[in-house]
Amino acid sequence: MNDEATQLVALVASGNKIEAIKLLRKVRGLGLSEAKDAVERIASLADAQRELQPRVRVQQASPNSGLADAEVQRLIRAGQTLAAIKRVRDLTGCGLREAKRAVDTVLPPHLRDHELRVLQRWLIASAVLVAVAVIWSAYG
């Protein structure tokens, strides 16, 4: 493959379709519509190739292993549960649900209850705003 083709594939793979279209227009002298269609075809072929490749499962560390981190412990003691969950995810590569469950297991109960109350208040406030918007649009 020549340099332009390699660059084109790299641009499409990185999601930079506009630059890929510009490159095709410059190198091949294509019109805008033709270049766009070509880039879309390349992108669909790349997607199909990705689908055919075998799935490689990345070995992740256990979310509980992130709980031993001093920074995570400090964040939990400070009541910064969201930051602690993010740190566990960064350390272990686990998903949001797994990291939250791990942090919740060591989180003091009064902090878990506080978060639940905050969430309930937010849901109530959202429902009130939706009701006001409906009434406003019906009678406004």
Integer angstrom CA distances of residue 11 from 5, 39, 42, 54: 10, 10, 11, 23
Q: What is the pLDDT of residue 138?
A: 76
Q: What is the pLDDT of residue 59?
A: 46
As separate numbers, helices (DSSP H) first and strands (DSSP E) second, the chain gives 7, 0
Question: In the chain, what are the domain boundaries?
Answer: 3-52, 62-107, 112-140
Mean pLDDT of 80-109: 85
Identity of the highest mean pLDDT range in 63-72, 87-96, 107-116 = 87-96
69 three-state secondary structure = coil
pTM of the model as a whole: 0.39
Model pLDDT for residues 126-135, shown as the tens digit of each residue: 888 888 888 8
Distance of CA 122 to the CA centre of its chain: 23
Contact (Cβ atoms closer than 8 angstroms) between residue 24 and residue 30 = yes
* Whole-number Å distance between alpha carbons of 75 and 70: 9
* Whole-number Å distance between alpha carbons of 112 and 81: 9
Q: What is the pLDDT of residue 109?
A: 65
* Whole-number Å distance between alpha carbons of 21 and 83: 41
Model pLDDT for residues 56-79, shown as the tens digit of each residue: 444 456 777 777 788 888 888 887
